[in-house]
Amino acid sequence: KAGVTQTPRYLIKTRGQQVTLSCSPISGHRSVSWYQQTPGQGLQFLFEYFSETQRNKGNFPGRFSGRQFSNSRSEMNVSTLELGDSALYLCASSLDGGSGYKQFFGPGTRLTVL
Amino acid sequence: AQTVTQSQPEMSVQEAETVTLSCTYDTSESDYYLFWYKQPPSRQMILVIRQEAYKQQNATENRFSVNFQKAAKSFSLKISDSQLGDAAMYFCAYRSARNNNDMRFGAGTRLTVKP
């Protein structure tokens, strides 16, 4: 099976712009989670989607949003970009949303905000 | 709130030797899952090993094993017969068994393997 894919891999934006990141989970996986990774804050949970519904959300401002499509592909959107949004954004998929299910991570999207 | 602490920012091991990475966590829950993830320089996060809190037996995956001490809230990772390919950042993570809880990660330990 193909692994989790994320597009684009690298992105450069300027402050105030918005950005959309995409994640395609492993075939058959219905749960997609998003994480932000920065040197200062480490890995932080953004949100999780399961069957097109957001089931859980981390402590991030409303500028961060997401959605999931019927084929389980997910997008994450960040509006009004700030310098502090520069990070590696990781997507992870699992067969189900249960806590014990193994999550498989994608390679990430490196976002740089200038 | 649950927190995960990795007190060793960096560790080093000689090839073929054994190394133990430490992880402690804080929770008031009794049912949860613990994970170790590896993130090589290529950046793709890989699951190394998983432990269910209700299981007393320590999880093992080939050269990787854990020492799970539930009362002490400790979850260390032992890597035996270290290989050059083991060099990476290692993250300890916690996830509640209650529905839909997020994954909490430690700050990571950078492991260097010396030939």
Specify the range with the lowest mean pLDDT, choosing from A57-61, B62-66, B77-81. Answer: A57-61
Predicted pLDDT at B100: 58
Mean pLDDT over the full length of chain A: 92
Residues 6+ apart with CB under 8 A from B57: none
**Helix H or strand E encompassing A109:** strand A109-113
Structural contact between residues A35 and B108, judged by C-beta atoms closer than 8 angstroms: no
Structural contact between residues A96 and A72, judged by C-beta atoms closer than 8 angstroms: no
Categorize the per-residue pLDDT at A55 as very low, low, confident or very high, splitting at 50, 70 and 90. Answer: confident
B54: left (phi over 0), alpha (psi -120 to 50) or beta: alpha
Of B32, B33, B105, the CB nearest to A43: B105
Of B44, B102, B104, the CB nearest to A107: B44
Categorize the per-residue pLDDT at B61 as very low, low, confident or very high, splitting at 50, 70 and 90. Answer: very high
Using the Cβ of A108 and the Cβ atoms of chain B, whether some distance falls under 8 Å is answered with: yes
Instruction: Give per-residue pLDDT as tens, A57-113.
Output: 888 999 999 999 999 999 999 999 999 999 999 999 988 766 567 889 999 999 999
Q: Do A99 and B50 touch (CB under 8 A)?
A: no
Mean pLDDT over the full length of chain B: 92
Categorize the per-residue pLDDT at B101 as very low, low, confident or very high, splitting at 50, 70 and 90. Answer: low
Cis peptide before A8 (omega within 30 of 0): yes
CA distance B75 to B61: 15
Residues in a beta bridge with A27: none
Residue B96: closest C-alpha in chain A = A99
User: On the CB side of B27, how many CA atoms lie within 13 Å of its CA?
Assistant: 26
Instruction: Give per-residue pLDDT as tens, A7-46.
Output: 999 999 999 999 999 999 999 999 999 999 998 889 999 9
Q: What is the DSSP string of B44-99?
A: --EEEEEEETT--SPPEETTEEEEEETTTTEEEEEE-S--GGG-EEEEEEEEESST
Predicted pLDDT at A101: 74
DSSP state for residue A8 in the 8-state scheme? -
Question: Is residue B99 predicted with pLDDT exceeding 60?
Answer: no
Residues in a beta bridge with B12: B112
Report B:56-115 residues touching A (Cβ under 8 A). Answer: 91, 95-108
CA distance A67 to A75: 6
Short-list B82, B101, B80, B91, CA closest to B32: B101
Chains A and B form CB pairs within 8 A to the count of 57
Percent of chain B beyond pLDDT 70?
Answer: 97
CA distance B95 to B53: 10
Distance from CA of A23 to the nearest CA of B (A): 14
Instruction: Give per-residue pLDDT as tens, B8-41.
Output: 999 999 999 999 999 999 998 888 999 999 999 8
